[in-house]
């Protein structure tokens, strides 16, 4: 879905969001992890396509805000395929797991 040249986490948006404050960075990343995991559960449990699209948009927006580029791209791509039968969530699960693991390693 996304290329391996796309960074997992681009530091520029995160720097902008936190104004360079390391404590604020850690807090924002911790909040993002909770939110990403919550949204992933809601996407997996969504019973209608509109709800799934809304949750995918929320996940993509949250990812964009902290610079989680691969996750953002994966969520946006999946959003464009929601109208198709059963969307394959495996790439999104992998992108969420990769991003969360990256954040936990770098925190």
Please give the Cα distance from 107 to 101 (Å, whole number). Answer: 10
CA gap 37, 89 in Å, rounded: 14
* Contact criterion met (CB below 8 Å) for 9 and 102: yes
pLDDT value of position 85: 74
Local confidence band at 100 (pLDDT 50, 70, 90 cut-offs): very high
Q: Which CATH class is domain 11-106?
A: mainly alpha
Residue spans of the domains in the chain: they are: 11-106
pLDDT digits (tens, 9 = 90+) for 34-49: 999 999 999 999 999 9
pLDDT digits (tens, 9 = 90+) for 47-80: 999 999 999 999 999 999 999 999 999 999 999 9
């Amino acid at each position: 879905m996304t290329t391996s040249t796309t960074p997992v986490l681009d530091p520029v948006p995160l720097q902008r969001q936190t104004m360079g404050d390391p404590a604020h960075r850690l807090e924002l990343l911790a909040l993002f992890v909770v939110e990403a995991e919550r949204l992933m559960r809601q996407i997996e449990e969504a019973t209608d396509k509109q709800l799934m699209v809304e949750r995918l948009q929320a996940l993509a927006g949250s990812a964009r805000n902290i610079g989680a580029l691969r996750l953002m791209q994966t969520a946006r791509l999946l959003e464009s395929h929601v109208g198709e039968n059963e969307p394959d969530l495996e790439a999104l699960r992998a992108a969420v797991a990769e991003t969360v693991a990256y954040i936990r390693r770098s925190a």
